[in-house]
Structure 1
Amino acid sequence: MTTAVVICPGRGTYNAAELGYLAQHFPDADLLAIFDAQRAEAGQPTLSELDGAERFSMALHTRGDNASGLIFAASYGDFLSIDRSAIDVVAVTGNSMGWYTTLACGGALSAEHGFRVANTMGTLMQQALIGGQSIYPWMDDDWIANADRKQELLALIDEIAARENAELYLSIDLGGMLVVAGDEAGIKAFESAVEPVQGRFPMRLANHAAFHTPLQEPVAAKGRDALPGEMFGQPELPLIDGHGRIWWPGASDTQALYDYTLGQQVTQTYSLTRALTVAAREFAPDLFIIAGPGTTLGGAVAQSLITANWRGMASKADFRERQDKDPVLVSMGMVDQRANVFSYSQEV
C-alpha cells in the first residue's frame, strides 16, 4: 500500500478557476448541508450559494468570512475522496488556515466542529482585518536554496520591525517564499527595500490580514471566547503543526492542542517548510498529497522538500526528474493527478 502525508492548503487557493469545486467534487451532500446550515444560522451566504455563483468575485469569494469556509470544505471533501484502500495516510499537515482542516482530517475535531473553527476564525479575521501580507521569494527560478539570501531577508524584516513607526514579522515560511505581515508602514518599507523579481514580487495578498503575528492577539482572544475546548479530542492520525511539532494519536494533550490552535497558531510564525521537513524525515511517505482547492501550493511543497534535501533533491530540475519518473507529489486540484488517489466509491 502506498503511504502518504496529506497537506491541507490555506487562504488564497479558492479563485476563479475553483468556482464550482464543491458542486463538482464534494462527496457528501448531507455534510455539505450541515456546513450550509451553520452559515445560514450565522446570517452568511451558504457555501452552495457561493460555490454556485454565476461568476467569481474577488471582493466576495476571497473575503475571510467566505474563503475560509469554502477552502475548508473543498479540502475536507478531497480528504474524504482519497482511496483509503490503496492509500495509507500516515500523517496530516497544512498551511496556515489549513491547520484547521488538518485537525478535522486527523480526527482531533469532527467535520462539523472543524468547519465551525475555520468559519469562525475566518469571520473574526475579516471583521478585524488587522494589517496585511506580502509575499517574496528567497529561492531563484531554479529552486536552488540560497541560505544567505534567506538570512538577508530575515535580517531586513528584523531591521524594519525595530523601527519606531512600523510593525513587520515573518508570517509564513513557505518553501522558497517568505510571507511577511505587519501594518501598512512595515509592509511598504519591506516592499520598497527589496528588488522586484519575476515580474510579480513583492506581491501584496488581497483580503489578507497580518496572519500569524502578534497583531492578531485580539482575534485569537475572540476565538477562544467563541470556541470551547471541549470540541477538541485525541487525533486519529499524527498531526504536524506550524512549528513542526507532531501531535500523536492517544498521546496528545487536548488542552494544549486547543491552546496552540487558538493561540500560537494565530499569533506566531507558521512554518510550512518545517512541517514538511518533519513529515518527510519522520514518516518518509511514498507520496505527498495536496488536497484542493487550487494548484498554487505545489511549488512551495516541492521547494520545502528541496530545502530538506529529501531523497537528494537540490533543485527544480531534480524535482521534475523525480516527479516524471516516480511521482512524489499529487495535487488533487489538478484533474489528471487527482485520478491517482481518487476513490470512485466516493463519487457523488
Structure 2
Amino acid sequence: MRLAYLFPGQGSQYSGMATDFSKYGSWGHYAKVANEVLGLDLVEIMDGDEEILKLTENAQPAIYLASYVAFVELKKYLKEPDFVAGHSLGEYTALAAAGVYDFETGIYLVRKRGEYISQAMKPGEGSMAAVIGVPIEQIDELVKKYEGLYIANYNSEEQTVVSGKAESVKSFVKDLTENGKRAIELKVSGPFHTPYLESAREKMAIEVEHIKFRQPRYPIVMNSIAQEITDPEQIKHYILEQISGPVYWKQSVDRMITLGVSEFIEAGPKNVLTTMLKKAKLNAKHFTSLIGIKDGTEGVPSGR
C-alpha cells in the first residue's frame, strides 16, 4: 500500500487557525520562525479579521505554516509518505515537506508569491468560478465564448474551476445558471492560474533563481504536468509554471493511483481535498482524524 501526503491551497484559511494549531507540539517553534522571517505577526493575522487573513499575501503563508506543522505532527504517528503533492499554493508546502528547501525558504517564497499575485491585476478586475457536474469537454467549449476566460483547475470529475476577467466570469456563471447548471463565483480577488498572472511568474522566477533546490526525499507529483518529478531544476521550472498555468489536480491524483497510491492524507487546515477525494470514492483522511484535533469544515478550493 503506497501513501501520499497532500497539502491544500488557498481557500483553506480561517480565522482562529493559530489557536487551533497551537495545540500541536511543533507549533511554537515554526510560528516563531515564520514571524521572524516575515517581519510581521502572522499568528495574530491567523486569529484576526477574516478579511485581512484572506488577502493573498496573508492567506498563503498562513496556510503554509499550518500545513507544515500538520506534516511534522503526522510524521510522529505515521510512516514516511511515498509521494507528496499540493494543490496550487500547497505545492510549495509539499516541496518543503520533501526537503527541496527548508521551512524558512518556503515561508518567504509563499509570502512573495502572494504579494506578486496581488500586484498582477487590480482587485476586482479578475475572478474565478467553480463549475459542478458539467463534463470538462463542455466547459472547454463554453469558455471559448467569453473574452479572457480560462480553465484554471481540473479539480475532480465533478468540479472544474474557471478563471479570468471578472465580467466574463459573472456572465459565464449567469449563463450556466440560467441553463440549469451549477456554477458558483468564488470569493477571490484575482484571475488565478491564467496568463494574467504572467508578471507574478516572472517576479517569482527572479526569487527562486538563486535558491538551491535539493533532491526531494519523496517524489512530487506536480500540478503543471501531473507527473512525478525528482530533478531539482525541473521542480523549479514547474513550480513557476503553475502560477500562470492550470492546475491538473484530478490528473495528478489519477497519476498517483497509477503509481500504486491507495491512501491519501491531507495535511493542513480544513478538509477540502479530503472531501473531494471521498466524493470520488477514494481512501482519503484528514490529518486531524489521525492525531487529534477535529476540523470538519468543507469548501471549494480557490486554486491559488
TM-score (norm 1): 0.76
RMSD, aligned CA: 2.4
Identify if the C-alpha distance between structure 1 residues 109 and 152 changes in structure 2 by more than 3 Å, giving closer, same or farther.
same
1:100-115 matches, cutoff 5 A: 100-115=92-107
The corresponding residue for 1:297 is: 273
Contact 2:192 2:244 in 1 (8 A): yes
Identify if the C-alpha distance between structure 1 residues 198 and 296 changes in structure 2 by more than 3 Å, giving closer, same or farther.
farther
For 1:78-103, what per-residue CA distance to the aligned partner results, in whole angstroms no more than 9, with x for missing partners? 01111456423100001111111111
1:180-219 matches, cutoff 5 A: 180-195=162-177, 201-219=182-200
User: What is the aligned-residue identity percentage?
Assistant: 19
Decide which moves more: 229-238 or 95-104. 229-238
Question: How far apart are the structure 1 equivalents of 2:179 and 2:291?
Answer: 32
Contact 2:4 2:84 in 1 (8 A): yes
1:223-242 matches, cutoff 5 A: 223-242=204-223
Of structures 1 and 2, the larger Rg is shown by 1
The corresponding residue for 2:285 is: 330
Question: How far apart are the structure 1 equivalents of 2:272 and 2:31?
Answer: 24
Identify if the C-alpha distance between structure 1 residues 29 and 255 changes in structure 2 by more than 3 Å, giving closer, same or farther.
same
Determine if the alignment matches structure 1 residue 46 to structure 2 residue 51: no
Question: How far apart are the structure 2 equivalents of 1:188 and 1:86?
Answer: 44
Determine if the alignment matches structure 1 residue 257 to structure 2 residue 260: no
Question: How far apart are the structure 2 equivalents of 1:198 and 1:94?
Answer: 33
Offset of residue 157 of structure 1: 1.1
Contact 2:193 2:247 in 1 (8 A): yes
Q: The residue matched to 1:135 in structure 2 has which SS? A: strand
Contact 1:64 1:122 in 2 (8 A): yes
Identify if the C-alpha distance between structure 1 residues 128 and 258 changes in structure 2 by more than 3 Å, giving closer, same or farther.
same
The corresponding residue for 1:346 is: none
Counterpart among 134, 137, 146 of residue 129 in structure 2: 134
The corresponding residue for 2:145 is: 159
TM-score (norm 2): 0.86
Question: How far apart are the structure 2 equivalents of 1:138 and 1:129?
Answer: 30
Q: The residue matched to 1:172 in structure 2 has which SS? A: strand
Identify if the C-alpha distance between structure 1 residues 198 and 156 changes in structure 2 by more than 3 Å, giving closer, same or farther.
closer
Identify if the C-alpha distance between structure 1 residues 196 and 97 changes in structure 2 by more than 3 Å, giving closer, same or farther.
farther
Offset of residue 74 of structure 1: 0.7
Q: The residue matched to 2:3 in structure 1 has which SS? A: strand
Offset of residue 190 of structure 1: 1.1
Offset of residue 28 of structure 1: 4.3
1:12-27 matches, cutoff 5 A: 12-16=11-15, 18=17, 20-25=19-24, 27=26
Q: The residue matched to 1:82 in structure 2 has which SS? A: helix
Decide which moves more: 78-87 or 185-194. 78-87
Question: How far apart are the structure 2 equivalents of 1:290 and 1:198?
Answer: 33
Offset of residue 72 of structure 1: 0.3
Determine if the alignment matches structure 1 residue 173 to structure 2 residue 148: no
Question: How far apart are the structure 2 equivalents of 1:96 and 1:234?
Answer: 20
Q: The residue matched to 1:151 in structure 2 has which SS? A: helix
In structure 1, runs of 5+ residues without a counterpart are: 140-148, 161-165, 307-318, 341-348
Question: How far apart are the structure 1 equivalents of 2:12 and 2:221?
Answer: 20
Identify if the C-alpha distance between structure 1 residues 86 and 25 changes in structure 2 by more than 3 Å, giving closer, same or farther.
closer
Amino acid of the structure 2 residue aligned with 1:155: E
Question: How far apart are the structure 1 equivalents of 2:253 and 2:44?
Answer: 34
The corresponding residue for 2:90 is: 98
Decide which moves more: 129-138 or 186-195. 129-138
